């Protein structure tokens, strides 16, 4: 049977050019470069012409002082931005400048298009990207201002926004220092509406000498020649200069370095969600998702640009030559002089200009401010932080249950097994191939016995001619063709398909129905969760493997305008359907495509990587980048989707994968089976140890997610976030912090040592040897195959659960071990968050405890600083104890016993000395009450 499916797949792949090319490289001819893309080509041309004219260039944009309205108490400035045409007449563009309550500045510029008539299309520029990205419309705050003939100055908090009215420009000063300049290089360009005839008329007033007309009304790229481009040229572009910064991060998704590169002599970074087949590393090609948010970091402050546009977007970055080199001490000193700058140029195919500028003291505060707008990562269901075992495909119920029991046989913990597309009947989502999965409720119940879950794939393309797609047509909830008179039909895994239009509110009840309890697909299982793949959307026969840009969505919006947020609307609809199905369980949804705001309801992974060392290495900056733009629940396929990893790569990838916030093994249908027991010894034992280590760290990871759900802090944290004062960390993207652990996974073959960079002067301890390592700079540590290079930062308390269980659910009431690593002043601190791990009672009913551990003054104490220990779940924690406290770097001569106080009781506990650390054995304290242990001998 499998063979039959393989051959069908091969056929589909052949038909749509999807077979791996022999060189295994990205099919670059499928995707546009900036030069192939009319609007990018035109805006780069514009930028180079403006640069040639230099300081003599007179901006065509000015603020009309006649209708300027300054509502200081509302936090709003409104008016019109005038764009000067060749004959001196103007196009009037309504704008708003607002001061958001978190002291960020927002600019919106729109165009009221007149003269465009079409029944099929909304004539407005798309202005709803923020509706999807934001949790709610942000509150505004008051400002003071002064106004002269050519300048408006807004003052709010420690900020000033200086708006040049005659040559439109906005400078943002924070604490008196210039940090961001908008339209610094006069690259503002809003291609106003004009007909082809108007544009092509002799001496047209619409095309300025610095502009190009390349592909304004047609598309010459081979696969998108049919694009109707009904509005002609309608791009929006603007430049921003970050002053006093040398490094910028963010704007995923690209397989590139964490610190973004200068693009002067290369392609710009492109944000356009595509099914990028066999992507390359160190590339600016677009990938599956887009988050148009960039962060600049310096020791003094940090700044962010959030460009809220969901159309095809390119970003150029220009740095000064010297910036690219590693900083010498001299350069570090000169950074104080504030000379450096990073210039950025943002170009989107259409939509409005809607941008938020954020400046704060440090990168963490910028991430937090962005999270306040777009929402923080929702606390995941605990099981989803365990290990996920996937492949394309586990063949049938027996296979699933056999794999599951093999984990137990080999004593390897895991939480979730996955089903890829082959479980369906002919790729018809919401069906099961009955002969292979005769009773999925039975299978799910069996998995549930050991606390395991199943994730099944549901893609947005629905095969034509079966009940689900027929309903889509009947209810008229599909994406439409360019005339909006028919549902669009394209090709994907099942052959001819339609796509659910999840921008349409009518799609939600229909979608809910498919996931309902008792439906053919979902049955009644509580441990079923969902994978949303191919939601860029991937269309095998579409231009650039996606939907034609002139297709039409609900609201009569062109696909062109909403392309980058379609994936978000789709996984949000699935999340909502799963909530409807079971309001008491936090749904787990994995999405491939994403936009700003996706972090609220889903996890993501980096798509189809390869079983090669360079992809293992690349996964770290990829996930770090996701983490700095507020999408913490990110992972990469372990150990590479395409191909067959050798045993060393497989093992090293597991050792790296345990740090991914989302940790899943996955493989292509043509790759050989590679579950951890297949490699044999010593590899299996090493992978088992790594997996068990992940499970030991689950309390740390869950606590990190809790903190992130409140403040957007990264979980895999770049060194520049930990020590922004140390500029030498700014380009480091092969190591990271995970709570207070500094980790540098081995990412090349044959390596048995790593050189790990310590970014500060605190003592660190090698977790493998407990050796104390002190001093900012690189330190060589041993890293034989069986070990992962990890340093514990002193001054930390790390709570772990040390006992092996088959799944995370079975660990719920296990005792804790605390690792206390004292700093130079004999102090340490750490946190632990606990709730039931699956319901919403933590937020509905305060059914959680948030604990602070503190060591110092010869004692260790635990205090519940938030939550309520008397609720349904937290009261059960009265049976959960701390079974061991390990002290590293404590007093050299340990006491024989320590005094323990909890509530009105006290007792003594035994101390076991060892080499380099000592242990308080069975201190006997329970986790849901405050306690104190005196360390004095």
Interacting residue ranges for ligand NOJ, rule: CB under 6 A: 392, 420-421, 457, 533, 592, 607-608, 641, 666
The β-bridge relationship of strands 151-156 and 61-63 is unpaired
Q: How far is CA 638 from the centre of its chain?
A: 18
What the block records as the tokens of 592 is: 């491939």
Smallest gap from residue 393 Cβ to ligand NOJ (A): 8
- Is 866 known to be catalytic? no
Question: Given the complex with ligand NOJ, which of 11 and 914 has the nearer CB atom?
Answer: 11
DSSP state of 22: T
Smallest gap from residue 310 Cβ to ligand NOJ (A): 22
Classify residue 130 as left (phi > 0), alpha (psi -120 to 50) or beta.
Answer: alpha
Q: Distance (Å, rounded) from C-alpha 254 to C-alpha 290? A: 9
Question: Given the complex with ligand NOJ, which of 110 and 591 has the nearer CB atom?
Answer: 591
Smallest gap from residue 286 Cβ to ligand NOJ (A): 15
- Is 536 known to be catalytic? yes
Question: Given the complex with ligand NOJ, which of 392 and 615 has the nearer CB atom?
Answer: 392
What the block records as the tokens of 807 is: 């799944």
The β-bridge relationship of strands 716-717 and 663-665 is unpaired
Neighbours of 835 (CB within 10 A): 25
| Given 536, 544, 637, 722, the catalytic residue | 536
Q: Which of 852, 920, 927 is nearest to 890 (CA)?
A: 920
What the block records as the tokens of 158 is: 């420690």
- Write the burial class of residue 482 (CB in 10 Å: 0-12 exposed, 13-18 middle, 19+ buried): buried
Q: Which of 104, 103, 109 is nearest to 78 (CA)?
A: 109
Smallest gap from residue 30 Cβ to ligand NOJ (A): 16
In a 3-state reduction of DSSP, which class is residue 604?
A: strand
Question: Given the complex with ligand NOJ, which of 421 and 877 has the nearer CB atom?
Answer: 421
Q: Which of 604, 592, 458, 484 is nearest to 537 (CA)?
A: 592
Question: Given the complex with ligand NOJ, which of 32 and 666 has the nearer CB atom?
Answer: 666
Smallest gap from residue 533 Cβ to ligand NOJ (A): 5
Smallest gap from residue 290 Cβ to ligand NOJ (A): 17
Based on C-alpha coordinates, what's the Rg of the chain? 28
Question: Given the complex with ligand NOJ, which of 272 and 392 has the nearer CB atom?
Answer: 392
Smallest gap from residue 420 Cβ to ligand NOJ (A): 5
- Is 648 known to be catalytic? no
Q: What are the respective helix, strand and coil percentages of the chain, to the nearest 5?
A: 25, 30, 45
Question: Given the complex with ligand NOJ, which of 424 and 514 has the nearer CB atom?
Answer: 424
Q: Distance (Å, rounded) from C-alpha 387 to C-alpha 394? A: 16
Start-to-end Cα distance in the chain: 71
Smallest gap from residue 289 Cβ to ligand NOJ (A): 12
In a 3-state reduction of DSSP, which class is residue 293?
A: strand
Q: Distance (Å, rounded) from C-alpha 807 to C-alpha 691? A: 11
Smallest gap from residue 681 Cβ to ligand NOJ (A): 29
Q: How far is CA 508 from the centre of its chain?
A: 25
Question: Given the complex with ligand NOJ, which of 5 and 757 has the nearer CB atom?
Answer: 5
What the block records as the tokens of 328 is: 């010498």
Q: Distance (Å, rounded) from C-alpha 247 to C-alpha 225? A: 38
Question: Given the complex with ligand NOJ, which of 184 and 253 has the nearer CB atom?
Answer: 253
DSSP-assigned beta bridge partners for residue 870: none
Smallest gap from residue 480 Cβ to ligand NOJ (A): 25
- Sign for the pseudo-dihedral over CA of 331, 336, 338, 341: positive
Which residue's Cβ has the minimum distance to ligand NOJ?
392
DSSP state of 880: -
Helix axes 559-581, 507-515, angle to 10 degrees: 40
Question: Given the complex with ligand NOJ, which of 457 and 552 has the nearer CB atom?
Answer: 457
Smallest gap from residue 276 Cβ to ligand NOJ (A): 10
Question: Given the complex with ligand NOJ, which of 215 and 591 has the nearer CB atom?
Answer: 591
Place of tokens 């481009």: 229
Place of tokens 């081995």: 746
| Given 533, 618, 675, 733, the catalytic residue | 533
Contact 439, 475 (CB under 8 A): no
Q: Distance (Å, rounded) from C-alpha 539 to C-alpha 273? A: 12
Residue 880 Cα distances to 166, 817, 836, angstroms: 68, 11, 13
Classify residue 154 as left (phi > 0), alpha (psi -120 to 50) or beta.
Answer: beta
Which ranges in 216-360 belong to alpha helices (H)?
321-324, 329-335
Which residues have C-beta within 8 Å of that of residue 150, sequence separation ≥ 6?
Answer: 164, 165, 166
Question: Given the complex with ligand NOJ, which of 657 and 830 has the nearer CB atom?
Answer: 657
Question: Given the complex with ligand NOJ, which of 421 and 933 has the nearer CB atom?
Answer: 421
Q: Distance (Å, rounded) from C-alpha 892 to C-alpha 916? A: 8
Q: Distance (Å, rounded) from C-alpha 597 to C-alpha 565? A: 9
Smallest gap from residue 625 Cβ to ligand NOJ (A): 19
Smallest gap from residue 275 Cβ to ligand NOJ (A): 7
What torsion do the CA atoms of 714, 839, 637, 388 make, to the nearest 10 degrees?
140
Q: How far is CA 822 from the centre of its chain?
A: 34
| Given 312, 501, 608, 637, the catalytic residue | 608
Catalytic residues: 533, 536, 608
């Amino acid at each position: 049977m499998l063979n039959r499916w393989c051959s069908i797949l091969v056929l589909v792949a052949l038909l749509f050019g999807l077979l791996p090319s022999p060189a295994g490289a990205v099919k670059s001819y499928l995707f546009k470069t900036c030069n192939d893309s009319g609007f990018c080509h035109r805006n780069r041309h514009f930028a180079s012409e403006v640069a040639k004219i230099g300081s003599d260039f007179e901006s065509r944009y000015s603020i009309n002082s006649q209708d300027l309205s300054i509502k200081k108490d509302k936090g709003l400035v409104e008016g019109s931005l005038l764009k000067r045409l060749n004959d001196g007449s103007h196009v009037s563009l309504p704008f708003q400048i607002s001061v958001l309550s978190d002291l960020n500045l927002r600019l919106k510029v729109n165009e009221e298009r007149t003269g465009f008539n079409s029944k099929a299309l909304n004539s407005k520029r798309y202005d709803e990207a923020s509706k999807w990205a934001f949790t709610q419309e942000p509150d505004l705050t008051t400002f003071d201002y002064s106004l002269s003939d050519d300048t408006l100055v807004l003052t709010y908090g420690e900020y000033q926004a200086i708006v040049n009215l005659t040559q439109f420009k906005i400078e943002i000063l924070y604490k008196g220092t210039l940090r961001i300049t908008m339209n610094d290089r006069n690259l503002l360009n809003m291609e106003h509406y004009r007909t082809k005839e108007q544009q092509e008329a002799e001496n047209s007033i619409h095309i300025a000498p610095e502009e190009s007309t390349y592909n304004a009304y047609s598309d010459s790229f081979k696969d998108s020649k049919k694009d109707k481009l009904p509005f002609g040229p309608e791009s929006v572009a603007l430049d921003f200069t970050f002053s006093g910064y040398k490094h910028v991060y963010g704007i995923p998704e690209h397989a590139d370095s964490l610190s973004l590169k200068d693009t002067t002599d290369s392609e710009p970074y492109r944000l356009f969600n595509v099914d990028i087949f066999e992507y390359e590393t160190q590339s600016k090609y677009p990938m599956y998702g887009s988050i148009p948010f960039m962060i600049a970091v310096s020791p003094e402050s940090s700044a962010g640009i959030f460009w809220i546009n969901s159309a095809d977007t390119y970003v150029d970055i220009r740095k000064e030559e010297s910036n690219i080199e590693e900083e010498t001490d001299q350069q570090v000193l000169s950074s104080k002089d504030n000379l450096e700058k990073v210039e950025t140029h943002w170009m989107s195919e259409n939509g409005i200009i809607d941008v938020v500028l954020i400046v704060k003291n440090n990168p963490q505060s910028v991430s937090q401010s962005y999270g306040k707008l777009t929402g923080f990562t929702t606390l995941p269901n605990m099981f989803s932080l365990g290990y996920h075992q996937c492949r394309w495909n586990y063949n049938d119920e027996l296979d699933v249950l056999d794999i599951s029991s093999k984990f137990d046989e080999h004593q390897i913990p895991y939480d979730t097994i996955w089903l890829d597309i082959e479980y369906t009947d002919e790729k018809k989502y919401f069906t099961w191939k009955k002969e292979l999965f005769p009773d999925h409720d039975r299978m799910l119940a069996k998995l549930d016995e050991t606390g395991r879950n199943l994730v099944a794939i549901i893609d947005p393309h629905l095969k034509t001619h079966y009940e689900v797609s027929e309903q889509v047509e009947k209810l008229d909830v599909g994406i439409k063709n360019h005339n909006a008179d028919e549902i669009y039909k394209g090709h994907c895994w099942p052959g001819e398909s339609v796509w659910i239009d999840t921008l349409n509110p009518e799609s939600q009840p229909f979608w809910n129905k498919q996931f309902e309890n008792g439906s053919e697909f979902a049955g009644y299982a509580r441990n079923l969760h969902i994978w949303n793949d191919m939601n860029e959307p991937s269309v095998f026969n579409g231009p650039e493997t996606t939907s034609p840009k002139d297709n039409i969505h609900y609201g009569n919006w062109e696909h062109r305008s909403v392309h980058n947020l379609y994936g978000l609307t789709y996984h949000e609809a699935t999340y909502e359907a799963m909530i409807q199905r079971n309001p008491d369980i936090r749904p787990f949804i994995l999405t491939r495509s994403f936009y700003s705001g996706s972090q609220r309801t889903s996890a993501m992974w980096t798509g189809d990587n390869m079983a090669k060392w360079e992809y293992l290495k690349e996964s770290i900056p990829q996930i770090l980048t996701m983490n700095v733009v507020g999408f913490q629940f990110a992972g990469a396929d372990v150990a590479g989707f395409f191909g067959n990893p050798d045993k060393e790569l497989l093992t090293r990838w597991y050792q790296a994968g345990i740090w991914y916030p989302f940790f899943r093994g996955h493989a292509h249908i043509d790759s050989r089976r590679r579950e951890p027991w297949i490699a044999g010894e010593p590899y299996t034992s090493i992978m088992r140890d790594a997996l068990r280590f992940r499970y030991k760290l689950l309390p740390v990871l869950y606590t990190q997610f809790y903190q992130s759900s409140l403040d957007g802090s990264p979980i895999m944290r770049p060194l520049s976030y930990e020590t922004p004062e140390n500029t030498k960390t700014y380009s480091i993207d092969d190591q990271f912090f995970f709570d207070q652990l500094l980790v540098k996974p081995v990412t090349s073959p044959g390596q048995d040592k790593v050189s790990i960079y310590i970014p500060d002067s605190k003592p660190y301890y090698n977790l493998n040897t407990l050796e104390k390592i002190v001093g900012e700079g690189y330190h060589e540590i041993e890293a034989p195959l069986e070990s992962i290079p990890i340093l514990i930062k002193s001054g930390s308390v790390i709570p772990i659960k040390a006992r092996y269980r088959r799944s995370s659910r079975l660990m719920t009431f296990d005792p804790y071990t605390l690792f206390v690593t004292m700093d130079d002043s004999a102090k340490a601190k750490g946190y632990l968050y606990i709730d039931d791990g699956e319901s919403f009672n933590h937020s509905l009913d305060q059914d959680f405890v948030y604990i602070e551990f503190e060591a110092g003054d010869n004692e260790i104490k635990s205090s519940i600083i938030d939550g309520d220990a008397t609720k349904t779940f937290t009261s059960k924690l009265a049976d959960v104890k701390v079974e061991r406290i390990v002290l590293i770097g404590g007093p050299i001569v340990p006491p024989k016993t320590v005094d323990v106080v909890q509530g009105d009781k006290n007792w003594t506990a035994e101390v076991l000395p060892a080499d380099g650390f000592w242990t308080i054995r069975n201190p006997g304290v329970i986790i849901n009450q405050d306690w104190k242990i005196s360390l004095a001998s």
